[in-house]
Structure 1
Amino acid sequence: MADTALQLGIVGAYMVVAAAVGVVAYRLTDRTAEDYYLASRTLGTVVLLFTTFATLLSAFTFFGGPNLAFSAGPEWILVMGLMDGILFAVLWYVLGYKQWLVGQRHGYVTLGEMLGDRFGSRGLRALVAGISLFWLFPYVMLQQKGAGQAVVGLTNGAVPFWVGAGAITLFMIVYVAVSGMRGVAWTDTLQGLVMLGLIWVAVAWVLSAVGGLGEATRQMGEAEPGFLALGGGLYTPEYVLSTAISIAFGVVMFPQINQRFFVARSQRVLKRTLALWPVLVILLFVPAFMLGAWAAGLGITVPENGNVIPAILNEYTAGWFTAAVVAAAMAAMMSSSDSMLLSGASYLTRDLYRPLLSGDPDREALVARLGVVAFATLSFVASLYSTGTLVQIGDTAFGGFAQLALPVLVALYWDRTNRWGMYAGILLSQAFYLASVFLPFVPGSYFGGWSASVVGMVVGLVLTVVVSLLLPAAVGEDASVYAVGEPGAD
């Protein structure tokens, strides 16, 4: 009981620190949408890098990834730690930099605004927002599910799942309502630094306890010989490439990530951040995923519906340290969730409430907060009944967002893209992917193992281009919106 109280005290203390940062941010935040949602586009390199990093440190990456490495081998590092990190950095430049240029010129806050203005379509703006909110729901649920599981594992079941998930949900609602992007970015930076430091201390502690790197790897190889081989089992070339592509392209369309393409103070900040991104990803994912893989050879028992990281730390480190790592991981989940809820609120108010309902701008703040409460509460209830693993839930959401990426990329760089091509590419690729997820008679993979997500992306790309070539542009379209030059590199 004393250990449980200590562990929960550490988690609680971290939440108090985060809340204090949020209060300070609230006092410095202007009562404008641009400042609340984008911190007035003033983020520098370190804060932008770590807020993007911490926003992606979700239950999918920190608990789901090590769990997969524990069951299938450490090659998950290739998918998330190497291929996905590099692909996202490339997309950050190709798509994110152009989006930043356009956003700087026209003052866009959301992706829907940017597309709706270019194609003269409130319907397209609403469609993109609606699809984004639809796929955001399971990913917020994933964070709540991961937080609940973390608390159960940390306390050996003394605190039930619903209490842990519910407490985190309540904290997220309050935090988003108070802090805005500035507070989120500041706490993200703190969370990212703490998480990096703790995971490397955890690796050093565990390896010291088991006799070093060579001994841990030897035991892993004896228990699971396939873990030392490249390829085989789950990690077929088609699976590795499909998953990395789907995740990387999905990430750039996540509302909480996509909006960060608008917030950099300058082009120099944006370019520095994308260059540093793969390094930061490798520094976290390699040790986290290797802990999961080594655990397979160390006889670690993971409770049903539990996670391997708390299990291996409970076995080889002190209780207070396990609590600190789990607290940091939960903080990473919260940093993902609060960013999701903040971005979701902007999509709700600016892309649905304002254009479709002719909403009163003076009431947007209230609508945003009510939307956050409803969204977080519904996803919490769904987390209580969800049966999928963290990786399954996350992978499904990534695939849905990935269907948006190529039509948006084409629109940014090809003047011939028109409204009808965008509708066709987005709607039909989404329909194809949804069918593969929810209809049992529609295959989930094609051509020897390529995922339906990647096939859907190709379908969306082809339709966007072909329909744009076959049909004339609609009234109200303006290709000059995306004709932007290079600003000064301040």
Structure 2
Amino acid sequence: MSAEIFKYLCLAGYGLATLWLSWIGMRKTRNIRGFAIGNRDMNPYLIGITTAASVASTATFVINPGFVYVHGLSAFIHYAVAGGGGIITALLVLTRRFRALGEEGGAITVPDWIYRRYQSRPLALFFALINLMSLAFVVLILVGCSLLLAQLFPIDQQTALVLIAVFVFSYVLMGGTYAHAYTNTLQGMMMLGISLLIFISGWHYFDGAPLQALNAVDQNFAAWANPDSDLYFSFFSVFASGFIITFALMLQPHILTKMLYLKGDGDVGRFVGTTAVAIVCFMLMLFVGFYARLSGLEVPQQDAVVANYIAAEFGSSEAGRYLLAFIGITLLAAGMSTLDGILVALSAMVVRDIYQPLSGDRPFQEGRGLLLSRIVLVVIGVVAVWMAYDPPPLVGLFAQKGVYGLGAASLVPVLFGILWKDAAPAWQVGSAAIIALAAHLLFTFAAGVSNPSISAAYGILISVGYFLAIQLWRRLARGSRPEPLGNGGQTNTNFNT
């Protein structure tokens, strides 16, 4: 069997396995609740791999290694060390309490959770609308996957884009959360194997002395803060902003709602541990940026570093071409593993948190909410493909500007809604969210801050400072304050259905 035939067989096998798992998921999906979060009957290890695959995605496997290729060690620290630390910290801080509150209130989306926590429909509607900024990340994934598919097969990028969109949207339409979780488990296991393989296979480029090898490229390329970079040039831009915004990004609907899949508190430890181990392994893909630079590979398009590297590294021999086929399919799976989660979260959110409240908040007839979620999914797909058809030059920064704004706006309402026993008034968390988003946009578009993580971190710090100042004023005025729950204690009795 030739390597070319093997490549097509790999793609066909992956496609058939995905559709089969989606069909299994479809049999378990009978209403919008099952479509959005399942029936809480999934294994915590499965949910952990699903979550890690959703977090890593095309950004870690395809796009972010390009930043390491251009900016060096500072970009690696920003994404792997600071970002990885933010992810694991968020899991430890948020999971148990968010799951408990969500279970008590019956929430199925993040805006729905916010409504039940703060008893404010306008605040929930605001969050549902700004969560549409997740479309920017959908565009990133579609562009990254289309670059890979066009590299692997003799088709142009636009055709690859349409094929990927049709495939992913089809299997998500079938099974919702179950399709997403089951396929993500398959995709996550593939991603674990390939990230370890690529990391080990390229280690020889360091020649036993990683820092010396990086210094040979350029002294600033090997610096923890790169003075030549307009993105990663100081402690705040490299580490602090990376940690803050990645923590906040864990509040995205397609990630945070995974905690609602868990059956009980007994599953939390296994879920967090599985997710953390998988994330650390996935971050090894960032070494591709180093390997491509040390190998002397010239890549004019930063977003295409990974696609060019694997083609050059594994495409020169017959045996390597067999491996290249499997690696390419796995990198496609990495993108789809997040794309399907975002699509499930967005479609459920549009129906539950925008359409239903605006139509009078009447309960859906059996199956109607599920049908509407699937219709919305198709509309989202058409819009996303249109946006990705002619993407901006650096799609990674384009996606960050949108998604980081969402993360900045979400931090105060979700974090303090989880950690504090008594929910703050809705106007306080709502105004903090608006301040965070506005500050991010102003620093990005008016002040000319190049790194979206810096502008988003500024917005977060300003909004947190504003919110805590209000709480201090309330304490001085009333002689009391909300009490933090240090160990995820009892749920808030004000969190009503």
Are 1:292 and 2:298 matched, yes or no?
A: no
Are 1:41 and 2:35 matched, yes or no?
A: no
Indicate how the Cα distance of structure 1 residues 75 and 9 shifts in structure 2: closer, same or farther if over 3 A, else same. Answer: farther
**8 A Cα contact 2:62 2:306, kept in partner:** yes
Length-normalised TM-score, structure 2: 0.86
Aligned twin of 1:232? 226
Aligned twin of 2:305? 308
Indicate how the Cα distance of structure 1 residues 375 and 72 shifts in structure 2: closer, same or farther if over 3 A, else same. Answer: same
Map 1:38-187 onto structure 2 (within 5 A).
Answer: 38-133=37-132, 135-155=133-153, 158-187=154-183
- Deviation of the 1:392 alpha carbon: 0.8
Indicate the RMSD between aligned Cα atoms, in angstroms.
2.9
Provide the aligned length of Structure 1 versus Structure 2. 468
Aligned twin of 1:369? 374
- Deviation of the 1:182 alpha carbon: 1.6
**8 A Cα contact 2:86 2:244, kept in partner:** no
Length-normalised TM-score, structure 1: 0.87
Aligned twin of 1:407? 413
Indicate how the Cα distance of structure 1 residues 442 and 3 shifts in structure 2: closer, same or farther if over 3 A, else same. Answer: same
**8 A Cα contact 2:68 2:290, kept in partner:** yes
Indicate how the Cα distance of structure 1 residues 396 and 246 shifts in structure 2: closer, same or farther if over 3 A, else same. Answer: farther
Indicate how the Cα distance of structure 1 residues 180 and 333 shifts in structure 2: closer, same or farther if over 3 A, else same. Answer: same
Aligned equivalents of 1:5 and 1:303: distance in 2? 30
| Candidates 346, 358, 363, aligned match of 1:356 | 358
**8 A Cα contact 1:407 1:464, kept in partner:** no
Aligned equivalents of 1:450 and 1:142: distance in 2? 16
Aligned twin of 1:476? none
- Once structures 1 and 2 are overlaid, which stretch shifts more, 389-398 or 319-328? 389-398
**8 A Cα contact 1:60 1:391, kept in partner:** yes
- Deviation of the 1:33 alpha carbon: 2.7
- Once structures 1 and 2 are overlaid, which stretch shifts more, 222-231 or 267-276? 222-231
- Once structures 1 and 2 are overlaid, which stretch shifts more, 247-256 or 375-384? 247-256
**8 A Cα contact 1:199 1:325, kept in partner:** no
Are 1:17 and 2:14 matched, yes or no?
A: no
Letter in 2 for 1:297: L
| Structure 1 unaligned regions, length at least 5 | 473-478
- Deviation of the 1:19 alpha carbon: 1.0
**Partner SS state of residue 451, structure 1:** helix
- Deviation of the 1:222 alpha carbon: 2.6
Aligned equivalents of 1:400 and 1:388: distance in 2? 20
Map 1:235-314 onto structure 2 (within 5 A).
Answer: 235=232, 236-286=234-284, 288-302=285-299, 304=301, 307-314=304-311
Letter in 2 for 1:272: R
**8 A Cα contact 1:416 1:468, kept in partner:** no
Indicate how the Cα distance of structure 1 residues 160 and 445 shifts in structure 2: closer, same or farther if over 3 A, else same. Answer: closer
Letter in 2 for 1:299: G
Q: Encode CA deviations 1:348-392: one digit per residue, 9 max, x unaligned.
A: 111111112126613322221121111121111111222142431
Aligned twin of 1:458? 461
- Deviation of the 1:218 alpha carbon: 6.1
- Once structures 1 and 2 are overlaid, which stretch shifts more, 10-19 or 364-373? 10-19
Letter in 1 for 2:13: A
Are 1:431 and 2:438 matched, yes or no?
A: yes
Map 1:181-196 onto structure 2 (within 5 A).
Answer: 181-196=177-192
**Partner SS state of residue 38, structure 2:** helix
- Once structures 1 and 2 are overlaid, which stretch shifts more, 102-111 or 231-240? 231-240
Indicate how the Cα distance of structure 1 residues 124 and 470 shifts in structure 2: closer, same or farther if over 3 A, else same. Answer: farther
**Partner SS state of residue 307, structure 1:** helix
**8 A Cα contact 1:255 1:340, kept in partner:** yes
| Structure 2 unaligned regions, length at least 5 | 315-319, 476-481, 492-497
Q: Encode CA deviations 1:128-161: one digit per residue, 9 max, x unaligned.
A: 111112x211001111111111122224xx3111
Indicate how the Cα distance of structure 1 residues 30 and 337 shifts in structure 2: closer, same or farther if over 3 A, else same. Answer: closer
Q: Encode CA deviations 1:68-96: one digit per residue, 9 max, x unaligned.
A: 11111144332222322222222223223
Aligned twin of 2:338? 336
Letter in 1 for 2:321: G
Q: Encode CA deviations 1:308-332: one digit per residue, 9 max, x unaligned.
A: 2232222232222122112111111
Indicate how the Cα distance of structure 1 residues 312 and 350 shifts in structure 2: closer, same or farther if over 3 A, else same. Answer: same
Aligned equivalents of 2:84 and 2:214: distance in 1? 26
| Candidates 417, 421, 427, aligned match of 2:424 | 417
| Candidates 321, 324, 330, aligned match of 2:326 | 324
**8 A Cα contact 1:421 1:466, kept in partner:** no
Aligned twin of 2:494? none
Letter in 2 for 1:338: D
- Once structures 1 and 2 are overlaid, which stretch shifts more, 419-428 or 72-81? 72-81
Indicate how the Cα distance of structure 1 residues 59 and 298 shifts in structure 2: closer, same or farther if over 3 A, else same. Answer: same
- Deviation of the 1:416 alpha carbon: 5.9
Aligned equivalents of 2:277 and 2:115: distance in 1? 35
Aligned equivalents of 1:305 and 1:232: distance in 2? 18
**Partner SS state of residue 214, structure 1:** coil
Q: Encode CA deviations 1:214-238: one digit per residue, 9 max, x unaligned.
A: 2887655433444444332333212
Aligned twin of 2:478? none
**Partner SS state of residue 52, structure 1:** helix
- Deviation of the 1:8 alpha carbon: 4.5
**8 A Cα contact 2:245 2:407, kept in partner:** yes
Letter in 1 for 2:169: I
- Once structures 1 and 2 are overlaid, which stretch shifts more, 98-107 or 235-244? 235-244
**Partner SS state of residue 296, structure 2:** coil
- Deviation of the 1:466 alpha carbon: 4.3
Percent of counterpart pairs with the same letter? 19
- Deviation of the 1:426 alpha carbon: 1.3
- Deviation of the 1:188 alpha carbon: 0.9
**8 A Cα contact 2:435 2:463, kept in partner:** yes
- Deviation of the 1:61 alpha carbon: 1.1
